[in-house]
A and B are shown apart, each in its own frame.
Chain A
Amino acid sequence: MSAQNRIKGHGLLSLAKTINFTFDGTTYQGLEGDTLASALLANGVHLAGRSFKYHRPRGILSAGPEEPNALVNIARDSTRSQPNIRATVQELYDGLVAESQNRWPSLAFDFSAINDGLAPFFPAGFYYKTFKWPPKAWDRLYEPIIRAAAGLGKSPTEADPDRYANHYAHCDVLIAGGGIAGLTAALAAAKSGKKVILCDENPNFGGAILYDNALEIDDLSATEWVEKAVAELAALENVRLLTRTTVFGYYAQNFVALAERVTEHMAEPDPALPRERLWQVRAKKVILATGAIERHLVFADNDRPGIMLASAAQKYLNQYGVAVGANVGVFTACDSAWATAFALKKAGVNIAAIVDLRDNPPLELQEKAQTCGIRILRGYTITKTTGRLRVQSITVKPVNGGTSEQIRVDALINSAGWTPSVHLFSQSRGKLKWHANRNLFLPDIYVQDCISVGACNGAFDENELIAEAQAAGNATRKKAKTIRIKNQTSWAGNAIGAAPGAGPNDMVKAFVDFQNDVTAKDIRLAVREGMHSIEHVKRFTTTGMATDQGKLSNMHGLAIAAEQLGKNLPDVGLTTFRAPYTPVTFSTIANHARGPLFDPTRKTPMHQWAVDKGAVFEDVGPWKRAWYFPKAGEDMHAAVNRECMAVREKAGMFDATTLGKIEITGADAAEFLNRLYTNPWTKLGIGRCRYGIMCREDGFIYDDGVIGRMADDRFHVTTTTGGAPRVLNHMEDYLQTEFTDLDVHLTSTSEQWAVIAVQGPLVREIIEPLVEGIDLSHEAMPHMSVREGKICGVPTRLFRMSFTGEMGFEINVPADYGESVWQAVYAQGEPKGLTPYGTEAMHVLRAEKGYIIVGQDTDGTVTPHDAGLSWAIGKAKPDFVGKRGMQRPDLVAEGRRQLVGLRTKNPKVVLEEGAQIVATPGQLIPPAIPMKMIGFVTSSYWSEALGHSIALALVEDGHSLEGDTLYVPMEDRTIEVEVTGCVFYDLDGGRLNGKN
């Protein structure tokens, strides 16, 4: 299709550079540099969307990010589909495929438009008043219907293959907005030597110049002046220019977030480029030059396709060479729309009339209109419009009463004046002040190092604006050079609230918020219903809550509510502006953090060996730990049984590297441990180890681990895998802030040591040939001792300890040697039956011995006494962290849950971890809910070594219940269990010393 509305000699685009695109399946032609909206308008297409609630046909309203109507879905392919793209912002590229939204079966005929006819039944907040009966029908019947009708576009349904980037930056001055004010401020700042970032959401700098190109600056046309300024800035090393970059968030201490759209305008995005880039900028100073947004007028049926903002029409003409109609009406309360009318007229468009709400618009404008032969209707309003898919006529009437007249138009441009974009200022937590004489909220109190210049600060006059911008940017005392301005467009005049003809007694639909279908009368209804604060009005009517976040509607909504309440506008309040300024894709923010980069994966030095052996891994915090090592044909159960039996009968090896390790040194190291652990440490001999329990002040178990004394003033502390960082933090906290009298140093050595646990009756003979300088005999190195020496020629701290109940060693070697030592040990032991085992077998083996796992058998509410670890509390110690806490009334009361063993009456039944325990089965017959639960299963496994299941449980007063029968009620049956001690295997512990 050809572009019939493109006007030769207008706009900045080259008519030769045509590209094709499709909208709703029809192929159109546009020009390079077009937006989707300008290209559609060039082809005479105004109808671009349907509204949210009434599904009214809607046209392109604006030429910028404030667009509420023309939202489309754009899909490059099935994985790159994106809803709710503003056609007014999306740059056209060859082959662009756009589809309209929220309509069925087609944009021109939308079945749901029936809602519009039923609109009287759907006033603001109607859903609160109905859909209540029958009670179950809301979420089964009504809600699904409402949900299906709501929503705009469709969510993508496939994962996004594109890449997103992140960039941190620092600068002296960040300038948001590259119009005349922003460019001037940037030049001033850059020339005074500041490091500057200047960004603008558009593909080109220029701001208002992009539509108002009549202006002359320093004898250059505005367009030339912008080109020159940009060239000058681009040549400076201390300036970074970012276009297509929106400042979307302004956070504490001048932390500012920018979203740069890198490839969205490209027909074939360079795969080397990210699709979007997040900039997180810490700026010493922020200059806000965000301009102003033109408001629409609120009048009857102001939402028909073809009715648009005056500045938008001007931008379509001056930037894209597109006439928005052939016979255009103008409705305004602001001078600037007159300029648009003159520009359109000059381009050959018929201006049907200029309807100005004001009785006395400036004389020079009237004279100019008369000269051009444009009809002027002063003190007139519009009371009606017609046209279903495109406006066809307007009905005008004097504001003070009189005869109506219908005027035919094919487009209507309108302006209620300009609203300064104070969003970012408000996000910076600055306070706004109402200027009643101008109907503007303007920045008043700044709380960050930030300044607003230009239209966003209410400076609508270019002389004033440039002076402000120069002053803001200039860091020197040098006087700025004077800039000559000619051919200014006046922005004087404005209206807020409903125009005459859409007043309280008029039953018309005068839209305040287009997308959410909020009319002036909806706002009045909200006030009548008691919504007296703007926040209530907003939430009740949903005005300002659409994807444009009220950029056009906020002031009107506020004014109408104030009028209805009989209050001054600022007394109704102003809703808080929140980030983002315009919507930002999730991935721009989430960025690289996807898949493996979502969270760094921690792997031990032996990880690859386990992978090669076919291990199945489990996530433990950030770690990947080998869970079990299935052989061909084995399921988890079979593998774990085999691994457990290998340890019990021969030998097993286990990667214990993930345990936290802390080196504690200094003259007072033992005293420090005395205070941080429940156990006593002073008398622990050099070369000996002890199992330690750590509490917080509240007296509950916080962590545990084996601690070895390497020297009088040196301990090797181990922590749980998950607990490593918090234990070190806890220790540092006490050392730095409470026990400052102690001479102690803490060093995390978790990353330094790889740890190979070898466990089982044969382990000594397996490792003995590899070890140098350490006598491994029982006499020389008994259970719970530690020696330093070498293994495989590598320095080692060798612990004799056991988490399985078998004779065991934990070989600590520098992490770099972890894999090679592991392989050497395996090579040595494999012929003797040495078997790698994973965390699951480790869990079974330790449970058979009743060794607890902090976090599984304890849960932050368990004291050492509850866990049966009273023996590990140094009763003679005057103080330790947790000592006072565990004496609190409830912690010493009867009925606390205590750790016990459980054996199922049927030995084959393995309890479910987390299953709850009750005292009497009678509670089940008849099923009485709630049941009194007296405990739960913390650990439960099949013990191949014992030939029956085993479990640990926390049970009320459990320590006194040994031998009693308790019950575990499952969904389909009740399992009888007997309370036992926690140790199931090798009750006398002989195997620790290699005795059977």
Chain B
Amino acid sequence: MLLIHCPYCEEERPEVEFAGAGEAHIDRPKDMNAMSDAEFEKFFFIRDNLKGVNYERWRHIHGCGRFFNAVRDTVSDKFLTTYKSGEKKPDPAKLKTGKGAK
């Protein structure tokens, strides 16, 4: 069971309080109607699914209820950091050695 730092509650809580919510930083286009079928496919179905550092969403569903983002290594399952939704994508190169690395 992972320990996840909720950036809103500002504490680590066990994974059972959270719901995984898939890849992060996939923005819903402002003009959905202008999307081609290929663009819709990319938006709705295509996923990076990276082996290594991945950006993903979580929801502190049995806590504050907030959605937030995380950077996690999918090989070690270690979180590099978590951050509030809407915040900029952190640079993983800085995270590995910097704060948040564990």
Contact = CB atoms under 8 A, between A and B. Distances in A.
B44 A697 contact: yes
Nearest to A880: B32
Interface string B29-66: 00111010100100110000000000001010100011
A282 interface: yes
Given A729-B19, A883-B33, A736 B67 contact: yes
Given A251-B1, A737-B85, A883 B32 contact: yes
Contacts of A252: 1-2, 77-78
Given A697-B44, A732-B59, A737-B85, A429 B76 contact: yes
Nearest to B40: A884
A490 B31 CA distance: 77
A732 B67 contact: yes
A945 B24 CA distance: 53
Given A251-B1, A255-B1, A697-B44, A733 B67 contact: yes
A429 B44 CA distance: 35
A251 B14 CA distance: 13
A884 B65 contact: no
Interface string A246-290: 000001110100000000000000000000000010100000000
Contact of B33 (A282, A429, A733, A884): A884
* Residue among A738, A879, A884, A889 with max Cβ neighbours from chain B (10 Å): A884
Nearest to A746: B65
B3 interface: yes
A878 interface: yes
Contacts of B78: 252-253
Contacts of A879: 31-33
Contacts of A429: 76
Given A252-B1, A255-B1, A737-B85, A729 B59 contact: yes
B69 to A, nearest CB: 9
A518 to B, nearest CB: 33
A282 B21 CA distance: 25
Nearest to A257: B1
Contacts of A280: 1
A785 to B, nearest CB: 32
Interface in A692-731: 697-698, 729
Contacts of B59: 729, 732-733
Given A252-B77, A884-B35, A736 B66 contact: yes
A253 B3 contact: yes
Contacts of B85: 736-737
B88 interface: no
A790 B3 CA distance: 48
Contacts of B28: 697, 738
Interface string A590-603: 00000000000000
Contacts of A255: 1, 3
A447 B76 contact: yes
Contacts of B57: 737
Contacts of A740: 86
A344 B59 CA distance: 64
B67 A253 contact: no
B5 to A, nearest CB: 11
Given A736-B85, A884-B40, A888-B40, A729 B1 contact: no
A834 B78 CA distance: 61
A83 interface: no
Given A737-B85, A884-B40, A878 B3 contact: no
A885 B33 CA distance: 9
> Which secondary structure dominates where chain A touches chain B?
mixed
Nearest to A736: B67
Contacts of A732: 59, 65, 67
A809 to B, nearest CB: 33
A251 B59 CA distance: 22
Contacts of B33: 878-879, 883-884
A12 to B, nearest CB: 40
Nearest to B44: A697
Nearest to B85: A737
Contacts of A737: 57, 67, 85-86
Nearest to B65: A732
Nearest to A890: B37
Nearest to A738: B28
A255 B15 CA distance: 11
Interface in A832-887: 878-879, 883-885
A878 B66 CA distance: 28
A252 B2 CA distance: 6
A733 B21 contact: yes
A486 B25 CA distance: 64
B15 to A, nearest CB: 9
Contacts of B32: 879, 883-884
Nearest to B1: A255
A68 to B, nearest CB: 32
A449 to B, nearest CB: 9
A885 B86 CA distance: 25
A980 B64 CA distance: 50
A885 B21 CA distance: 20
Interface in A406-436: 429
Interface in A219-266: 251-253, 255
* Residue among B28, B59, B66 with max Cβ neighbours from chain A (10 Å): B28
Nearest to A254: B3
Given A252-B2, A698-B44, A740-B86, A888 B67 contact: no
Contacts of B61: 729
A698 B37 CA distance: 11
A662 to B, nearest CB: 13
* Residue among A733, A738, A883 with max Cβ neighbours from chain B (10 Å): A733
Interface in A147-190: none
A884 B32 CA distance: 6
B56 to A, nearest CB: 13
Nearest to A739: B28
A737 B1 CA distance: 26
Contacts of B67: 732-733, 736-737
A693 to B, nearest CB: 17
Interface in B72-89: 76-78, 85-86
Nearest to A882: B32
Contacts of B44: 697-698, 885
Nearest to B19: A729
A733 B43 CA distance: 16
Interface in A321-370: none
B3 A282 contact: yes
Interface in B1-26: 1-3, 14, 19, 21
Interface string A677-703: 000000000000000000001100000
Interface in A189-209: none
Contacts of A884: 32-33, 35, 40
A729 B1 CA distance: 22
Contacts of B27: 738
Contacts of B35: 884
Contacts of B66: 736
Contacts of A282: 3, 14
Contacts of A733: 21, 59, 67
A234 to B, nearest CB: 30
A737 B44 CA distance: 15
Contacts of A878: 33
A697 B39 CA distance: 13
A888 B45 CA distance: 13
18 contacts: A252-B2, A253-B2, A253-B3, A253-B78, A255-B3, A429-B76, A697-B44, A729-B19, A732-B65, A733-B59, A736-B67, A737-B85, A738-B27, A738-B28, A879-B32, A884-B40, A885-B44, A889-B37
Given A733-B67, A737-B85, A885-B44, 10 more contacts: A251-B1, A252-B1, A252-B77, A280-B1, A282-B14, A697-B28, A729-B61, A736-B66, A884-B40, A888-B40
8 nearest interchain CB pairs?
A884-B32, A253-B3, A736-B67, A738-B28, A737-B85, A255-B1, A697-B44, A737-B67
